[in-house]
Each structure stands twice: as C-alpha cells, then as structure tokens.
Amino acid sequence: MKKYSKDLFKIIGYSNKDLDVMVRPNVSYWQDAWRRLKKNKVAMVSMVLLIIIIIMSIIGPMIASVNYQTQNYDLLDKNPMAKHWFGTDNLGRDLFGRLWMGARVSLRIGFIGTLIELLVGCVYGGICGYFGGVVDTILMRIVEVIVSVPYLIVVILLLLVLPKGEGTIIIALCITGWTGIARLIRGQVMQLKESDYVLAAKALGASPTRIIAKHLIPNTIGIILVYMSMDIPAFIFDEAFLSFLGLGIQSPKTSWGALIFDGQSQMMFHPHEFIFPAIAISVTMLAFNLLGDGLRDALDPKLRQ
Amino acid sequence: MSKLLEVKNLRVSYHTYAGEVQSVRGIDFEVNEGETLAIVGESGCGKTVTAKSLMRLIQIPPGEIKEGSEILYKGKDILKMNQEQLRHFRGAEISMIFQDPMTSLNPTMTIGKQIAESLIIHRNMKKKEAMNEAIKMLKLVNIPNAERRVKQYPHEFSGGMRQRAMIAIALACIPKILVADEPTTALDVTIQAQIMDLIKDLQDKLGTAVVLITHDLGVVADVADRIQVMYAGKIIERGNTDEMFYNPKHPYTWALLQSVPRLETGHKDSLYSIKGTPPDLVKPPIGCPFAPRCDYAMEICKQEMPEATIITESHQALCWLQHPNAPKVEVPFGIGGEN
Amino acid sequence: MAKYILKRIGYMIITLWVVATITFVLINAIPGDPISASAGKVLDKKVAAEIMKKYKLDQPEYVRYGTYISDLVHGDMGMSIHYPGQKVNDIIAKEFPVSLRLALQAVTIGIVFGIVLGIIAAFKRNTWVDYTVIFIALIGVCVPGFVLAILLQYGLGAKFGLKIAGWSAKSLFDIYRYSLLPSIALAMAGLASNARFMRTSVLEVINQDYVLTAKSKGVGKVSLVWKHIIRNAILPVVTMIGPRIAYVITGSLVVESIFSVPGLGRELVSAISNRDYTVVMSLTVFFAFLYIVSLLIVDIVYVLVDPRIKLTQRKG
C-alpha cells in the first residue's frame, strides 16, 4: 500500500470558491443568437451579398454610362461590352442601368410590402391574442374567409381594375398577405399570456408595459425577423410573376420581373437579356432564404449553447 | 444465482462542441439472474449512459464506447456483436423502458401493434397470435378493458397507463433483464407507487432481473436487492440494500439519504439539498470528483482519486475516509428511518 | 365524418359566393363597358346587341348581379366577348382536362420525388448526396418557376432540338412527351419544398424517443425506417400539400403560356390581355372552386392519415 503523510488527511471541507468554479460564463439571448449567426458561414455570406445588392441598386444606375431610359437605335440587342456592362436590350437601352433600377423597384416592393403586412398583421394579431374571447372569434372568422380565397386571383383582379404601378402592386399583394403574420402574432401573444414566466412576472408585480417590453417583444422579434426574411423574396417573386402576366411595372419604368418578361422574347438569339435579370432575382431570393434559415436557427432558444 | 451480465471497465465519452465529455469513466459491475440492481445518482452522473450502453443504444457518433470496455452477456461481449446478433439480443434477452411514456411510444401505431411487433420479430408469431398475446400482456400489467385498449393509440391512454403499456411492450418476449430508466420520474406520486409495485410483481412472476436507474433513493428502498451510487461517471459506493441504508460510508451517499424527504421532517425544517453542481466532465477533476462539495473533504481528496475499499463482500466505497490515516467520521444523521 | 364534410361544403359555398361577388364588383368597377373594352375588336352591331341583351348590360347593376349569380348556380359560366358565341362552359370542357393532367402530373412528381429525395438526404446527412438534394431544393425554391420554365423551354427544347417542346395530342405517347417539360417546370417549386421539409421532418423524428424504444426492441432497419420513422415524418409534409395546390394553379398560368399548352391557365392569361372580362370573371370563379375543393380533399386525407386528429379539431 502506498504511504501517505498524515497531514493529507485533515478534514477541511469545501469553500464557496470551489463551487463557483464550475459555472460557465452567462451569455444573453441576443449575444448568443448573434454569435450563432456569425458562425453560420452561409448565412453570413448571404447577408453580405444582400448588402452588396442593396448598395448596387442605389449606385448602379448612377455609375451606368447612360440613363436607363435612353434608347439608342444603333446599339440594339448588343452583348456585354465596354460601354454597356450587361449589354443592351431590344430598344437599345443599357441593361446594367436598367437592372439596378429594376432592383430598386423590386426591393422597394419587397421591403415596403413586408413592412405594411407586418404592421397590419401585428396590430390585428395582437388585438386578437390580447383580448381573446368574442373579439378574437369574430376577427379570426374574418381571417378564415380571407384565407380561403386564393389570393393571386384577388391580386390579378385588383390589378385589372386599378391603375398599374408600384403602389397598386404593393397594396394588391398586401391585401391578403397580412393574415399569415396576424396568426403568428396572435399565437405568440396567447402563448405568452398564459406562459409561466409572464405569470411569475405578474406575481412579482411587473407592470404591463414592462411585461410587454421585456417578455413579449424579445420573443416575437425573432419570429418577425425570420418571417420578414421569407416574406421579402415572396413579394419579389410575386411582382415578377405579375409582370410576366403583363400586370406589373410598365415601361419605361422597370423591375426585375419586367426585365425577365422583356428578355424572354429575345431568348433565342440574345439570351443575355434574360439571363442577367434571372440571375439577379434568383441570387437575391437565394440569399434571403439562406439568411432566413440561418436566422431561424440562430434565434431558436432550444439550440442555445 | 448465476451471473447474467458482467460490465468491465466501461468508458463512454461524447464528442461535443465543448470538447470530449467523459460520461462514464471506468466502471465495473454485474447483474445476476432475477435480482434488482438499482443505479442511483444525480442528473449527469452517467447512469443513463450506462443503461443505454447495456443495450448498445449509444449513438455513435457523437458517442464513443472506448476501447477496453467489455459488456459480457452470458459470456459473450455485446460490444463485439454484429448488427444481426444485436437485433436478436435486443428485445428478446434484454429490454428497456424509458422515462417519458408520452414520447417513447410511436404515436401512429396502436398499442397492440407495438407489443405485437416484438413478438413477431423474436418469437416468429403470426399477426393474430401476436395480437392475442398482446391482449394477455395488457391484462398482465393491469390495464382494464384490454381487448378494446389493444386497438387504441398512445394518446388515448393516461400517463400511468402508458407506462404500463411500455412495460408490457418491454416484457412481451420475457427478457432476462429489464432496464428501467427513471420509470417513475414523469409520473404522479401515487402512480409511481403503483408502477413500482407492478414491476416488482412482474419480476416475481417472470423471473426477470431489473436494472433500475433513478435519482430517487426513496423509490429504491422496497424494490432493490443491491444499490450502486454513481457520481461523475464513477461508482462511488455499492452494496446490498441493508448495507447501503444502515451502514453507508460515502459522504455523497449520506447526502443523498438526507435529501429524501421524511415523514417526520417538521414543517419548519428546510429541505436538505446538496450545495453546488456536479463537475464539468470535459475536464474531469484529478482527485475525487465530489471533493468540491464534500463537508469532509481532505487535502488528499483533491490530489488523488481514492481506491475502492472493501468493507464486506458486497459492500465497497471509493473514499479517502476509509483510509486508516483518516479521522473517524460518524454518519451525520439517524440511520434507517421508516425504511 | 359526414357532418364534417357537410360543414366544409357549407363553408365552400360561402367562400365561392364571396369570391364571385368580389369578382363581379371589381370587374364592374372597370371604367367603360366590357364590349368596347374588348381589346382591338370591333364587333358586328348585331352581335353586340345580342351580347348586350344576354348580359343585360343596359340594366342596372343589381339586376346584372342577380343574373350573374343565378347563372353561376345553374352552372352557366357565360360567353366570351372577345370570341363571341364561344361559351365559357365549352372552353372549360375542352381545356380543363389538359390543365388537370398537367397539374396531377406536377403534383405527383412534386410529392413522390420530393419526399423520396428528402428521405434519402436525411439518411445520408452531410454527404454529397445530402448536399446535392439541398442544392436542388434551393434551386427549386429560389429560381422562380417561370424562369425555370423559360430555361427548360429554350434550353432543352429549342436549343438542343429535343422534340419535347410544343404540343400535340395525337397519341398517348405524344401527350406524355410534350407534357414532360411543363410538368417538371410546374413541379419544381413543390418538389423542392417537399424535399426540404421531409428532410427536416425525418431528422427530427430520428431523434425522437419512440425511435429509441423501437431500436431497443430489436426492430429491423427496414421496419424501423418505414413503420416508425417515415410514418411519423410524413405527417407535417401532408399538411403542406394543401397550400401547394394554390401554387400549382397559379403556376399553371405561366407554365402553360410559356409552353403553349392549350389549358385553362393559358386561357386566363390571354383573356386578361384581351380584356375579355366575362371569361376572366368566370374562370376566376372556376379556379377558386378548384382550389377550395382540393383543400377539402387534402384535409380529409390528413384526417385519415393521422390518428391524433379528431374531426372537430380545426387548426386555427
């Protein structure tokens, strides 16, 4: 048997210092979410890509060689060249400038539309969730009827009736789209109303404002952010679709959808007129989707590390 | 009593973001025919990982059963079996019931079919025969209206009934060993008692050995023949039930015994709880893992892991207090209680 | 079950009525009357008078509305103005089967391939198989359907001279040959979405406790995958099929136009550009009808498949 000295065997017990050693540093929810997002390379690349696209949409038309509406009959349907980086279209207009002007329109529709939907949806859903009871039942029935109407049909009809343009498109797309976010918010509010920690907060005497600020908003912002990142590309897609039907942005103004529509007829011989806007839209939608996925993973409290 | 299961030098780690977590750090024990062995400890001590290892249900990766570990069932090493042999082994020789009966049952399959599944696989029964046997199993676990219940889905059963159904599924092929991983933790206290009685009853009828995993020493007293206490991946004390309750030697065991609420605890007394939390197993401490929380810790405890001291043939403890150089320490509370 | 279906049919009728009314209101809000608005057509005076009478265009609105609704209830969908004499009912009879075939093919491709790919990707997680499937799924979701359609049409069809562009209904083989590309174009978005969803669902189910229970019983790999994993993983995907139908319907507008498929989608698109409002109105209501009916079918299927759903429970 090994020999041990006697004084190794004096009882000393433990100190509180020993206990604290075992605890890992505390990280707030947002810090943790941001850290997780940063680790997700794909999402970060998407975010950077989107920022680049947004910047380009602002400066693109400015650095183009000519105004996007100028028609040059000497340079019809030209391939990419020194003066026109993306070539020209069938009316001799510079595609580079047009693409980024179109970007402005498409992105604006996406962002503004989403924001409007969010506002309406949040208020509506918040009221339903907070008051519950009869108010909730009536309001939700209305939502159900709205939802069962296939929305694109309403959109098309509206666009036939109202004058075409960016504003009309936004309104038409928003009219039925807000129901999604309304339901989400309503669900969140109801869940939080009943949740244990809100009850605990109330029991501790927290005021409603405090509860809303500290509990409701942080929990819903995550969902809202994810929803936004999925909704914006949906708007862009829908606008493109409508332009394809001839109901979208009219010449000389342009959007990505309109560009694709124009480019389609030139596919056989001048595919660049179609390819560039097609790539632009696809990449943007891809970036939004990947960022949305990344956000969803980063903000999911169950995956906290 | 013959030896059914022999675990030798079991070491299991999990590879995570934070590093390699050494969940089980070298344990040895055995399970004999028809006996009830209880493995007790806090969350994270490695008892569930041990239980899963017995059936090789550790997911690899991120888990890893280290080289040198051996789990011998009737002499054959489970860890070396191929998939085919493993399939015949699981469910037929050894089976498991889990903590949460709600999530442990397939929601889209009737209870009857889930019981019959084992029978069809292991006993080669035809569907009809298996269903009849399933009805018999349900009756065995005291579920009323067995004929009707057998066609129902898990969500139509209550919590206690689901756990009974799980037991029926596990025992359908009359395995030699039943591993019960915290079978009563998710249930009401009154149902807990019923389930434990049921397990004991079935054990007598079918002669199955039971490995009971739990963190609650109170549950163990009536049922167990032998008790092993685990902490931070090691078995720090083991013995038969009498020895563990009437002559415990390890301060951690004392702490566990003290935390069991007793009838005579006056309403003014506070409940006993052990201060601190279990150690980080990514960097396990070199000495005794319980030292940072131990009232009786000594300098030697921080420096070296104690060896097993043999107190009786069945009773062992891993504690420096057992060393002849250590001062004599009395068990700090009344022994036995109403057990 | 019967009570549930009846209730749903009741809702259906209400919704259709709402749609018909909205359509009527909006169309009638268009300035000018339908006849003169009909793009580029100068109608024979006699024909114009007939149409005037048929649609009671000289009558006040509520009378027209009444006629409209009663016509619809009787199944009379009206007449085209742009092509006078052509009844919408005939148009539907001729072109709906074409669209239906395309839609069914697309939905089948989308479901079968989508689910299978999703399952494979989940089981071969983080291998090149997985990455390929994810890549395909991303393409399907992010590249708009019509872009894909155009690429397919010009790429495979025109440029490479494969005889699969265009349309001919001469033989069954012809029908399949020409409907292949449009079906694929229509299916892509659904396929991508299903694959992604199924993959996530399978990955979630694999980690569930009941899969561990099944393993502990010694259940074989095939049985495990089929009875325990897929049976449960497929449920959420089935719920998503409903909304998918809407995409197929709207997608058909574009895909049929690009591939010159003589279906109802293309009909609606040309009616829109021709400002043939009666046709637009009627087809709109018809499409709404199709959409609502398919939602009902999908819901019934879901109830049959998931034992946990009780019929009185409606997901809010």
CB–CB of A128/A182 below 8 Å?
A: yes
B326 touches A at CB < 8 Å: yes
pLDDT digits over A81-122, tens only? 777 777 777 777 788 888 888 888 888 888 898 999 888 888
Helix/strand/coil for B248: coil
Average pLDDT, chain A: 78
Task: Report the residue of chain B nearest C233, measured CA to CA.
Answer: B108
Distant-in-sequence, close-in-space partners of A191: CB < 8 Å, separation ≥ 6: none
Distant-in-sequence, close-in-space partners of C187: CB < 8 Å, separation ≥ 6: C105, C106, C107, C109, C110, C113
pLDDT of residue B29: 92
Question: Between the CA of residue C215 and those of B56, B123, B162, B306, C219, what are the distances in Å?
Answer: 10, 17, 18, 38, 6
Longest Cα separation, chain C: 83
pLDDT surpassing 50 at residue B214 = yes
Say which residue the tokens 């498991």 belong to.
Answer: B96
Q: Which amino acid is at A166?
A: E
B 250-279: CB under 8 A from A: 275-279
Distant-in-sequence, close-in-space partners of A292: CB < 8 Å, separation ≥ 6: A226, A229, A230
Helix/strand/coil for B20: strand
Rounded to an integer, what distance in angstroms lies between the CA atom of residue B304 and that of residue B319?
A: 10
B299 touches A at CB < 8 Å: yes
Q: Produce one character per residue of B6-35: b if its CB has 16 or more CB atoms within 10 Å, e if not.
A: bbeebbbbbeeeeeebbbbbbbebebbebb
CB–CB of A107/A165 below 8 Å?
A: no
pLDDT surpassing 80 at residue B274 = no
pLDDT surpassing 80 at residue C84 = no
pLDDT surpassing 50 at residue B134 = yes
Torsion of CA A305, B45, B270, A22, to 10 degrees: -50
Rounded to an integer, what distance in angstroms lies between the CA atom of residue B56 and that of residue C195?
A: 32
Q: Count contacts between A and B (CB, < 8 Å).
A: 59
pLDDT of residue C311: 47
Distant-in-sequence, close-in-space partners of C102: CB < 8 Å, separation ≥ 6: C179, C182, C183, C186, C252, C255, C256, C261, C263
pLDDT band at B268 (very low <50, low <70, confident <90, very high): low
pLDDT band at B219 (very low <50, low <70, confident <90, very high): confident
pLDDT of residue B67: 86
pLDDT surpassing 80 at residue A196 = no
pLDDT band at B59 (very low <50, low <70, confident <90, very high): confident
pLDDT of residue B227: 94
Cβ of B121 within 8 Å of Cβ of C217? The answer is: yes
pLDDT of residue C315: 38
CB–CB of B37/B31 below 8 Å?
A: yes
Which helix or strand (DSSP H or E) is residue C202 part of? helix C172-206
pLDDT of residue B315: 92
Q: Please state, as a whole number, how many other Cβ atoms lie within 10 Å of the Cβ of residue A120.
A: 17
What is the mean predicted confidence (pLDDT) over B79-105? 89
Q: B-chain residues within 8 Å CB-CB of A6? A: 325
Helical H runs in B31-102?
47-54, 83-89
Q: Higher-confidence residue: B308 or A163?
A: B308
Among candidates C11, C150, C272 on the partner chain, residue whose Cβ is nearest the Cβ of A160: C272
pLDDT band at C296 (very low <50, low <70, confident <90, very high): confident
Number of helices (H), then strands (E), belonging to chain B: the values are 11, 13
Cβ of A14 within 8 Å of Cβ of B280? The answer is: no
Residues β-bridged to residue B227: B38, B239
Among candidates B89, B108, B155 on the partner chain, residue whose Cβ is nearest the Cβ of C232: B108
Residues β-bridged to residue B36: B210
pLDDT digits over B1-23, tens only? 688 899 999 999 988 877 888 99
What is the mean predicted confidence (pLDDT) over B189-207? 88
Rounded to an integer, what distance in angstroms lies between the CA atom of residue A66 and that of residue B8?
A: 81
Sign of the C-alpha dihedral computed for residues A182, A183, A188 and A191 taken in this order: positive
pTM, two decimals, is: 0.78
pLDDT band at A80 (very low <50, low <70, confident <90, very high): confident
**Distance in Å, alpha carbon of A238 to nearest chain B alpha carbon:** 38
What is the mean predicted confidence (pLDDT) over A224-243? 84
Q: A-chain residues within 8 Å CB-CB of B279? A: 22
Rounded to an integer, what distance in angstroms lies between the CA atom of residue C312 and that of residue C316?
A: 12
Q: Please state, as a whole number, how many other Cβ atoms lie within 10 Å of the Cβ of residue B141.
A: 21
Highest mean pLDDT among A28-37, A95-104, C49-58: A95-104
What is the mean predicted confidence (pLDDT) over A7-33? 65
pLDDT of residue A210: 64
**Distance in Å, alpha carbon of A42 to nearest chain B alpha carbon:** 19
pLDDT surpassing 80 at residue A301 = no
Rounded to an integer, what distance in angstroms lies between the CA atom of residue B112 and that of residue B172?
A: 11
pLDDT band at A198 (very low <50, low <70, confident <90, very high): low
What is the mean predicted confidence (pLDDT) over C165-186? 71
| Closest to B160 measured CA to CA, from B109, B185, B195 | B195
C214 touches B at CB < 8 Å: yes
Highest mean pLDDT among B185-189, B267-271, C65-69: B185-189
Residue A284: CA count within 13 A, CB half-sphere: 33
A56-65, A295-304, B231-240, range with the lowest pLDDT:
A295-304
Q: C-chain residues within 8 Å CB-CB of B98? A: 209, 212-213
pLDDT of residue B166: 92
A1-15, B202-216, C94-108, range with the lowest pLDDT:
A1-15
Average pLDDT, chain C: 77
| Token reading at A242 | 């409508």
What is the mean predicted confidence (pLDDT) over B225-241? 92
CA B22, chain centre distance (Å) = 19
Say if strands B36-40 and B226-231 run parallel, antiparallel, or are unpaired: parallel
Angle, in degrees to the nearest 10, between helices A196-203 and A166-194: 70
DSSP character string of B27-49: EEEEEETT-EEEEE--TTSSHHH
Distant-in-sequence, close-in-space partners of B19: CB < 8 Å, separation ≥ 6: B282, B283
Q: A-chain residues within 8 Å CB-CB of B325? A: 4, 6, 8-9
pLDDT surpassing 70 at residue A303 = no
Longest Cα separation, chain B: 68
**Distance in Å, alpha carbon of C112 to nearest chain A alpha carbon:** 24
Residues β-bridged to residue B21: B14
Cβ of B323 within 8 Å of Cβ of A11? The answer is: no
| Closest to C139 measured CA to CA, from A285, A51, B16, B83 | A285
pLDDT surpassing 90 at residue C258 = no
pLDDT band at C49 (very low <50, low <70, confident <90, very high): low
CB–CB of C193/C240 below 8 Å?
A: yes
Rounded to an integer, what distance in angstroms lies between the CA atom of residue C222 and that of residue C227?
A: 8
The three-state (H, E, C) secondary structure of chain A, written as one string: CCCCCHHHHCECCCCHHHHHCCCCCCCCHHHHHHHHHHHCHHHHHHHHHHHHHHHHHHHHHHHCCCCCCCCCHHHCCCCCCCCCCCCECCCCCEHHHHHHHHHHHHHHHHHHHHHHHHHHHHHHHHHHHHHCHHHHHHHHHHHHHHHHCCHHHHHHHHHHHCCCCHHHHHHHHHHHHHHHHHHHHHHHHHHHHHCHHHHHHHHCCCCHHHHHHHHHHHHHHHHHHHHHHHHHHHHHHHHHHHHHCCCCCCCCCCCHHHHHHHHHCCCCCCCHHHHHHHHHHHHHHHHHHHHHHHHHHHHCHHHCC
Task: Report the residue of chain C nearest A280, measured CA to CA.
Answer: C143
C284 touches A at CB < 8 Å: yes
Say if strands B209-214 and B177-181 run parallel, antiparallel, or are unpaired: parallel
CB–CB of C20/C66 below 8 Å?
A: no
**Residues in chain A whose Cβ is within 8 Å of chain C:** 140, 145, 148-154, 156-158, 160-161, 183, 233, 237, 240-241, 244-247, 260, 264, 267-268, 271, 274, 278, 281-282, 285-286, 289-290
pLDDT surpassing 90 at residue A137 = no
- Neighbouring subunits of C (3+ Cβ pairs under 8 A): A, B
Cβ of C218 within 8 Å of Cβ of B118? The answer is: yes
Rounded to an integer, what distance in angstroms lies between the CA atom of residue C225 and that of residue C203?
A: 12
- Environment class of C207 (CB within 10 Å of its CB; exposed 0-12, middle 13-18, buried 19+): exposed
| Token reading at B41 | 């400890």
Q: A-chain residues within 8 Å CB-CB of B278? A: 22
Question: Between the CA of residue B57 and those of A260, B129, C72, C216, what are the distances in Å?
Answer: 55, 29, 63, 7
pLDDT band at C312 (very low <50, low <70, confident <90, very high): very low
Highest mean pLDDT among A118-132, B287-301, C11-25: B287-301
What is the mean predicted confidence (pLDDT) over C282-296? 83
C264 touches A at CB < 8 Å: no
Q: C-chain residues within 8 Å CB-CB of A260? A: 144, 146-147, 150
Cβ of A6 within 8 Å of Cβ of B325? The answer is: yes
A150-159, A257-266, B55-64, C230-239, range with the lowest pLDDT:
A150-159
pLDDT surpassing 50 at residue C314 = no
Rounded to an integer, what distance in angstroms lies between the CA atom of residue C131 and that of residue C121?
A: 8
Which helix or strand (DSSP H or E) is residue C190 part of? helix C172-206
